[in-house]
């Protein structure tokens, strides 16, 4: 291949030959990459050293899968029921607009602009580098216990491959005397008397005269007031067979490791290692299934739910608004917390994911799409869940509020029992736990990827050994989480869930807004974003029409609302309730929380102490962008240099080739010059190259001659 430049040039022959040779080598390299272009995924890596997503859908689905998790199915519907049904949608949407989306967009922009993970993206103000450490610590702690929930899903999935679900009926091997099948519901006290049972009119129950055990309950409400309740077979199975929490006296009595659950926990980590074994591209392909499959299952389950008796009552209970609840401050706090945590903001995952984007990706479009998709998923999941709860209420003859629960109780107790009331119950159980599995694993992928990305950005040599890094990391997480596989592991999980990702996340998000708006400068940050995504966003809207809206949120509205929510959480703080949690349970939880806070404060102290000169000089250095801050590629840093005086374009001395694969526009007529079967011995075609190796930023039209 040879290159002929037909433009006139007064340079010497040697200079011109050097120019042609450099341009020729750059074009050859770029064309080789051009051959790898896929019609849907686009070019290969823009950032060869770090890697990029294969295409836009990889990133979008990864973000969607990360944001849409188990909380959308087991927490949001319960919060709606708890906070006035449809009335909860009002504060929920408001918090989405003023808290959720702004934080989401800020983190995607920060990661994409710097091409850095949560540990190294703070070069715009080293004073806040500890925030990145805190994010990584949160992701690590959440990854440890979140994978245990995936292990539960695997356990139940394997148990569902049977002709009769094991939790369909009480089994003496694991059930207690309070199991539903062993205690009948009497129509009245007269029925107890007819069966020669001993009646206790204070508690509403009837006892067997011989064994003195409860045989019937004739008044469920009165019995409940006295702490006497029948237990569903699925509840007994979960507590005494699957997880073993019913065999433990609490967090102080962990008991032995349950080997079946430990193997499921190990298998969950093996799935993570397989998904992250190669580059970001491997997990980017896995999410094509894990991020879309839950929607297929939800639709199937919803259609089936609409065929059940009592579904109308369940859905009405879910959406009927109680507008008087809007005056209660609790509903606003719950909406803020739910929207904040359902989007998985300030955990570092969004920064890690967006750091693999190409520089000019429209991250605003992705932010809006993912945030809306996440919230709509939560609402739709509520319709699905309450259609089954309505049927369960109908079949058991109890009010819906008695079967509506939150968290693991909904996913592993209430719904599993609900499917036993359906024909072909094993089939419905299998697809439900497959949905839980896929909902959980793509969030888990990102949690582990966040920690991995942070380590590889900090220790660049690890990039060559990503598989080994992921394996070592998951091995450490597995051994640290073995306590979760014991009989008392459920109580340890509840402590971690309460404190690991609690109000410290709200603190992190507040610091993010302050550091960007008041230290780095909101004006410069807006120009940085505009440099990335262009003058038009979402394909049609001028960025200038909305950028001040984002600035107002980041500078004032979002941090104020998040801080208010954080303070409200402190005011309403209560210890871990119940006799299952000893006094030191909260101390253990606060230790997890303080790990994050100490990281933030410690990072700030280190940034100041490592500076030079007087204290004011050190503080100025800690709040001034470093020479390496900015885009990862020289050609993108050249764009920043146009509006930032003194900006260093190539602080690493990379000397990147000026011609990149995406800089070439192919204009080939006739047979492809790359096709070696071409009947033509040579083919000359004009190419438009957007940069000149000797004069960066210029346009140099060249002609490429191909010779076989």
Quick: pLDDT tens for 176-219: 999 989 998 888 889 998 888 999 989 999 999 888 899 999 98
Q: Are strands 184-185 and 536-537 parallel, antiparallel or unpaired?
A: unpaired
pLDDT exceeds 70 at position 450: yes
pLDDT computed for residue 444 by the predictor: 93
Closest CA to 649 of 640, 658, 661: 640
Of the candidate ranges 131-145, 332-346, 422-436, 676-690, the one whose mean pLDDT is the lowest = 676-690
Percent of residues, the chain, with pLDDT higher than 70: 85
Tokens of 671: 């047979």
Residue 328 pLDDT class (50, 70, 90 cuts) = confident
Confidence at 30, pLDDT banded by 50, 70, 90: low
Mean pLDDT of all residues belonging to the chain: 84
Q: Predicted confidence band at 503 (pLDDT cuts at 50, 70, 90)?
A: confident
Which pLDDT score, from 0 to 100, does residue 708 have?
A: 36
Q: 607: how many CB neighbours lie within 10 A of its CB?
A: 21
Report how far residue 490's alpha carbon sits from residue 496's, in angstroms, rounded to the nearest whole number: 10
Under 8 Å between Cβ of 622 and 603:
no
Contact 381, 305 (CB under 8 A): no
Q: How many CB atoms sit inside 10 A of residue 23's CB?
A: 23
β-bridge partners, 38: 42
H or E segment to which residue 632 belongs = none
Residues 70-120 have pLDDT tens digits of 888 878 888 887 787 788 888 999 999 999 999 999 999 999 999 999 999
Q: Is residue 643 within 8 Å of 148, Cβ to Cβ?
A: no
User: Is the pLDDT confidence value at 355 over 50?
Assistant: yes
Rounded average pLDDT over 354-374 = 92
pLDDT-based confidence at residue 281 (cuts at 50, 70, 90): low
d(C-alpha 146, C-alpha 126), whole Å: 31
Overall average pLDDT of the 412-421 stretch:
87
The percent of residues above 90 in pLDDT, for the chain, comes to 50
Q: Is the pLDDT of residue 462 over 80?
A: yes
Average pLDDT over residues 16-30: 67
C-alpha span between 446 and 463 (Å, rounded): 17
Averaging pLDDT over each range in 32-46, 141-155, 312-326, 647-661, which range is the top one? 141-155
Tokens 């000149």, residue located: 692
Token pair listed for 421: 């009331």
What pLDDT score does 250 carry? 92
Q: Where do we find the tokens 């070592």?
A: 472
Helix (H, G, I), strand (E, B) or coil at 381: helix
Partners of 601 in beta bridges:
none
Q: pLDDT tens across 133-172, in order?
A: 999 999 999 999 999 999 999 999 999 999 999 999 999 9
pLDDT surpasses 70 at 35: no
Outline where 197-255 has alpha helix (H). 220-225, 233-237
Instruction: Kindly tell me if the per-residue pLDDT of 268 is higher than 80.
Output: yes
Give pLDDT, residue 29.
63
Token representation of residue 73: 């199915």
Q: How far is CA 175 from the centre of its chain?
A: 36
Sign of CA dihedral 82, 87, 88, 89: positive
Compute CA distances 512 → 127, 173, 370, 520, whole Å.
12, 53, 20, 11
> CB of 391 within 8 A of CB of 305?
yes
Residue 22's CB is within 10 A of a number of other CB atoms, namely: 17
pLDDT at 532 over 60: yes
d(CA 527, CA 671): 44
Strand spans (E) along 299-416:
none
Instruction: Calculate mean pLDDT across residues 386-413.
Output: 80
Model pLDDT, residue 272? 93
Model confidence at 657: pLDDT above 70:
no
């Amino acid at each position: 291949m040879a290159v002929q430049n037909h433009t006139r040039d007064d340079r010497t022959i040697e200079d011109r030959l050097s120019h042609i040779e450099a341009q020729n080598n750059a074009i050859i390299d770029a064309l080789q990459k051009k051959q790898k272009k896929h019609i849907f995924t686009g070019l290969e890596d823009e950032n060869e050293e770090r890697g990029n997503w294969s295409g836009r859908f990889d990133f979008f689905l990864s973000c969607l899968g990360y944001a849409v998790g188990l909380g959308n199915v087991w927490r949001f519907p319960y919060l709606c029921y708890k906070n006035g049904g449809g009335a909860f949608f009002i504060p929920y949407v408001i918090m989405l607009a003023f808290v959720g989306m702004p934080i989401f967009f800020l983190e995607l922009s920060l990661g994409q602009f710097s091409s850095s993970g949560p540990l190294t993206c703070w070069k715009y103000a080293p004073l806040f580098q500890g925030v990145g450490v805190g994010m990584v610590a949160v992701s690590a702690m959440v990854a440890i216990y979140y994978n245990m929930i995936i292990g539960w899903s695997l356990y139940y999935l394997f148990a569902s491959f049977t002709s009769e679900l094991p939790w369909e009926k009480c089994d003496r091997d694991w059930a207690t005397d309070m199991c539903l099948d062993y205690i009948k519901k009497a129509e009245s006290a007269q029925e107890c008397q007819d069966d020669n049972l001993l009646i206790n009119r204070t508690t509403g129950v009837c006892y067997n005269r011989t064994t003195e055990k409860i045989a019937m309950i004739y008044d469920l409400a009165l019995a409940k007031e006295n702490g006497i309740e029948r237990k569903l077979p699925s509840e007994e199975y979960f507590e005494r067979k699957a997880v073993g929490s019913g065999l433990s006296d609490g967090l102080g009595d962990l008991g032995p490791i349950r080997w079946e659950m430990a193997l499921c926990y190990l298998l969950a980590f093996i799935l993570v290692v397989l998904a992250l074994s190669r580059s970001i591209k491997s997990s980017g392909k896995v999410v094509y299934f894990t991020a879309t499959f839950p929607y297929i299952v939800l639709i199937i389950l919803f259609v089936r739910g609409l065929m059940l008796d009592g579904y109308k009552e369940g859905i009405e209970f879910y959406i009927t608004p109680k507008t008087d609840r809007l005056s209660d401050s609790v509903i606003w706090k719950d909406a803020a917390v739910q929207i904040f945590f359902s989007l998985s903001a300030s955990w570092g995952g969004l920064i890690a994911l967006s750091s693999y984007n190409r520089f000019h990706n429209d991250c605003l479009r992705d932010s809006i799409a993912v945030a809306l998709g996440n919230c709509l998923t939560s609402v739709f999941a509520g319709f699905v869940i309450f259609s089954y709860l309505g049927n369960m209420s109908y079949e058991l003859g109890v009010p819906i509020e008695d079967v509506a629960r939150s968290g693991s109780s909904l996913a592993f107790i209430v719904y599993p029992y609900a499917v036993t009331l359906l024909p072909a119950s094993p089939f419905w159980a299998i697809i439900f736990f497959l949905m839980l599995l896929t909902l959980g694993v793509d969030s888990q992928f990102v949690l582990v990827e966040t920690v991995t990305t942070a380590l590889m950005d900090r220790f660049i040599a690890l990039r060559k050994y990503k598989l080994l890094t992921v394996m070592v990391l998951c091995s450490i997480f597995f051994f640290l989480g073995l306590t979760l596989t014991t009989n008392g592991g459920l109580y340890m999980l509840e402590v971690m869930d309460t404190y690991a990702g609690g109000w410290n996340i709200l603190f992190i998000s507040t610091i993010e807004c302050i550091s960007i708006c008041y230290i780095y400068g909101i004006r410069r940050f807006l120009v940085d974003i505009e440099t990335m995504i262009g003058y038009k966003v979402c394909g049609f809207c001028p960025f200038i029409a909305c950028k001040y809206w984002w600035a107002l949120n980041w500078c004032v509205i979002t941090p104020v609302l998040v801080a208010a929510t954080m303070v409200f959480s402190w005011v309403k703080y209560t210890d871990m309730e119940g006799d299952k949690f000893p006094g030191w349970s909260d101390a253990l939880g606060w230790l997890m929380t303080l790990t994050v806070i100490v990281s933030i404060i410690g990072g700030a102290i280190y940034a100041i102490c490592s500076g030079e000169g007087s204290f004011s000089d050190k503080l100025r250095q800690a709040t001034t962008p470093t020479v390496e801050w900015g885009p990862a590629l020289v050609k993108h840093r050249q764009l920043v240099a146009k509006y930032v005086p003194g900006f260093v374009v190539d602080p690493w001395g990379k000397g990147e080739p000026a011609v990149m694969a995406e800089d070439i526009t192919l204009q080939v007529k006739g047979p492809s010059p790359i096709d070696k079967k071409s009947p033509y011995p040579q083919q000359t075609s004009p190419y438009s190259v957007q940069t000149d190796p000797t004069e960066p930023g210029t346009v140099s039209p060249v002609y490429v001659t191909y010779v076989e």
